[in-house]
Structure formats: structure tokens, C-alpha cells
Homo-oligomer: A and B are copies of this chain.
Amino acid sequence: MRYTVFSGGKRLRPAIVLLACEAFGGRRREALPAACAVEFLHTYSLIHDDLPSMDDDDFRRGRPTCHRRFGEATAILAGDALHTAAFAALAEAPRDAVADLVAVLARAAGSRGMVGGQVEDLAAEGARPALARVRSIHERKTAALLAASAECGAVCAGADGRGKAAARAFGVDLGLAFQVVDDVLDVVGERRSLGKTPGKDEDSSKMTYPACVGIGRAKDAARRLAARAERRARAWPAAARSLLVDLARFVVDRTH
């Protein structure tokens, strides 16, 4: 569990939780349990997605993947325990927010969210690239958790239904932008900065944005999505929104 949680991730999802909480007028401290929860959930999903029966990845963040280091059984169980730890962390959130937070995170994680996206991702390997299908995979596999992160932050700040919907919409745009950039980096990125083997998507015939529309148009799409996320964040009440704007720019400009 520690090996993969503390392997130098960008902490993008918890940053979104904390900043969204501040942007809706909450205090960062109140959002810490939810911030830990989304990172635990993200880490569990990485460990399971990397397994031999799934994407069969040997490297992640410049180190052997969890199952390469500790064996398959331990990796599955480390993922399972982190999955539980995510919800355990939510139980530490401000009491009147817990039910909402659990519902939001479970919706993002479950069979209609991340798990559904991974099922579809595996099923789509080798199929003819189709933009609607890629988008549906990205929405569930990646954008769902970024949207939940933003919404959890808004929930911790006590935002109303409109605020929560706005946070979610920001997260969806940012998440799609993030994943399109991920697809692009898998084609043009370098192993050293990526910390994983580039070219894996093409090798395993993954359905990606560049495979559908080419690198140039994929980059354009990412920029458009991130710009829309930026515009959404600018409308939020508190000053922390400017950091979210920076974050939206980072997502498209990053090299890893």
C-alpha cells in the first residue's frame, strides 16, 4: 500500500478536492479526509489496472509496478485495502457531509464509473477506433474521479446543488483534457519523464484519442477542454479559483 501511494504521484485529485473546497468558501482542513480518499481510490485503481490480467504494465512512476515488486496476490490485496481505506477516510470527514461524500465517490468508482470504464477499455482493445467510444471510456475511467474530486471539495465547503453541479462539470472537462494529454504523451512522451513505457497504448491496440483523430487534433481537443474548465472555475466564489485555473493549464502543458 505504501509502496504505491508514496511513489511520487502528482496528487492532482487531492489538490482538486482541497482547492475546490476553498473555491466554494470552505476551509482546506475540512476537505483533507476527502482528499486522502480520492488519492487512495486512484492508487487502488492504478494497482489493479496494472495487473497481468488487465493492462499488464511493468513500470509506473519510474518503478516496478506493485505486482512486479510484491507478487500478484499482494498487489490485488493492497489495491483492495486502499479501496477500503478511501471510504474509511471519508468517515472522518465533517459528519453532515459523509453520506454525500460516500455517494459521490461510490458513483465515480463503481460499475457505472471507473470499473465500467476499465471493463469497456479492455473490451475495446483491438476494435476500430471510434471517438464516441473513447470519450465514454475516458469519461468513466478518468473524468469520473476528477469530477468526484471537485464535487467532494464543494460538498466539504457546504456548497448547494448548483455549486456541486458546477464543480462536477469542471472536473469532467479537466478529466477529459487530462486523459487526452495522457494518450498524447503515450505517443510523443519519453520514458524518463513519463516514468512508464511509452507506446504501450499502440502495442496493446488501446482505443485512444490520437488513434481516432491524430496527435494534432487530440492536442487541440485537450486545450479546448481545459480552457472550458478554466472558464467554469473563474465563476466560483472564492479566491482559490485562480489556483484551479493554473491547475487546468498545468494539465495540458505537462510532460508527464
In this complex, how many residues of chain A approach chain B with their Cβ under 8 Å: the count is 39
Q: Min CB distance, A106 to chain B, in Å?
A: 4
Not counting A51-B76, A54-B73, A91-B106, a sample of 15 additional A-B residue pairs whose C-beta atoms are within 8 angstroms of each other reads A48-B76, A53-B76, A74-B119, A76-B76, A77-B115, A77-B119, A80-B83, A81-B116, A85-B106, A90-B102, A91-B100, A91-B102, A98-B98, A98-B102, A99-B99
Q: Which of B85, B100, B109 contacts A84 (CB 8 A)?
A: B109
Shortest distance in angstroms between A173's beta carbon and chain B's nearest beta carbon? Answer: 24
What are some 6 contacts across the A-B interface (CB < 8 A)? A51-B73, A81-B116, A83-B84, A85-B111, A95-B99, A99-B99
Q: Does A227 contact B (CB under 8 A)?
A: no
Task: Give every chain B residue within 8 A of A88 (Cβ-Cβ).
Answer: 102-103, 106-107, 110
Q: Which residues on A are within 8 Å of B, measured CB to CB?
A: 1, 48, 51, 53-54, 71-74, 76-77, 79-81, 83-85, 87-88, 90-91, 93, 95, 98-100, 102-103, 105-107, 109-111, 115-116, 118-119, 122
